Amino acid sequence: MAGAFLTDDLSDLFQTDDFASAATFSGSTINVIFDAEFVGVDTGGEVQVESSSPVCYVATSDVAAAVHGSTIAIGGVTYTVTGREDDNTGVTMLRLRT
Amino acid sequence: MTHVRQQIRERIATNVTGLTSTASRVFQSRVYNLQATELPGLLVYTTSEQSERDTFISTNGLNRVVDVVVEGYAKASSNLDDSLDTISAEVEAALAADPTCNGLSKDLALASTEIEYTGEGDQPIGLVRMTFNVVYRTTAIAPTTAI
């Protein structure tokens, strides 16, 4: 269980006037920090395929129900959750696909 | 004149151009990344070749077997396996319809198929890698002419 000092300021971290953006998860509006870094996908073939690796960082308490296959809408795009990584200090990273 | 291997590769690329799934997204010997807009697509390579003299007293005849690799790439959030199998079926049928590569080769046959998937990226991406053995013959001094 994370100490309260770790979670007290999470709402500040996820302010939309800084780096976060609004998202819709399970009918609720939550704030997430979204990233979609470039990735060259290696399929084992002769070349890689250019793509991106969408993820979002969110307060764990906002996505307690998130599992693989859950959906989250960010910036008008609906993503499906393919991975959930809790840091056990109050922040969760969701790996996403379109 | 160009090496018969090049002529075969180009003929095979022509034969797999215009297929239903991959249309004109066909690239020979590509070394640069594929973009999302180039999927589903096909890459054609000649990766290795075995050759041997047909007899010791012949006129320098060489029997050759070149491996022509056709890689099919697809990206989809569902039924990716079906997409790859469809690509495979289209390529196999197209190449089997011209086993002599317009007179360049003695035979062409599918030797192996490998399929790979990955969940990296914003959608699943899959690869079907088909290796065709293409048998052809030249003389040692004239590798640009099929005999």
Contact A42 B120 (CB under 8 A): yes
pLDDT digits (tens, 9 = 90+) for B7-57: 999 999 999 999 999 999 999 999 999 999 999 999 999 999 999 987 765
According to the model, what pLDDT value does residue B57 have?
59
Helices then strands, counting H and E runs in chain A, come out as 2, 6
Domain that holds residue B29: 4-139
A4-97 belongs to CATH 2.40.10: yes
* Distance, C-alpha B32 to centroid of its chain: 18
- Of the candidates A72, A68, A63, the one whose C-alpha atom is nearest the C-alpha of residue A92 is A63
Residue B68 pairs in a beta bridge with: B46, B132
User: Is B65 or A5 the better-scoring residue by pLDDT?
Assistant: B65
According to the model, what pLDDT value does residue A1 have?
54
According to the model, what pLDDT value does residue B60 have?
83
In a domain, B144, yes or no: no
In a domain, B146, yes or no: no
| Cβ neighbourhood burial of B20 (10 Å; 0-12, 13-18, 19+) | exposed
Classified as helix, coil or strand, B79 is: coil
Percentage of residues in chain B having pLDDT higher than 70 = 97
Contact A52 B122 (CB under 8 A): yes
Low-confidence residues of chain A: pLDDT under 50: none
> What residues does each domain of chain A span?
4-97
Q: Which helix (H) or strand (E) element contains residue B91?
A: helix B80-96
Contact A50 B124 (CB under 8 A): no
Interface predicted TM-score of the whole assembly (ipTM), two decimals: 0.89
In a domain, B18, yes or no: yes
Cα separation, A9 vs A28, in Å, equals: 21
> Cβ of A35 under 8 Å from any chain B Cβ?
no
Residue B128 has pLDDT above 80, yes or no: yes
According to the model, what pLDDT value does residue B113 have?
98
- Of the candidates A19, A20, A94, A97, the one whose C-alpha atom is nearest the C-alpha of residue A63 is A94
Find the chain B residues whose C-beta atoms sit closer than 8 A to any C-beta of A.
Answer: 30-36, 39, 43, 45, 69, 71, 73, 75, 77, 114, 116-127, 129
In a domain, B42, yes or no: yes
- Of the candidates B87, B109, B74, B86, the one whose C-alpha atom is nearest the C-alpha of residue B16 is B87
Contact A46 B71 (CB under 8 A): yes
pLDDT digits (tens, 9 = 90+) for A37-51: 999 999 999 999 999
Cα separation, A15 vs A35, in Å, equals: 15
* B125-137: average pLDDT: 97
Query: Which chain B residue's Cα is nearest to A77?
Result: B122
Provide the number of structural domains found in chain B. 1
* B56-76: average pLDDT: 90
In a domain, B147, yes or no: no
CB distance B97 to B15 below 8 Å: yes
A 10 A CB-CB count for A5 gives 7
B52: domain CATH number is: 3.30.70.1700
pTM value is: 0.90
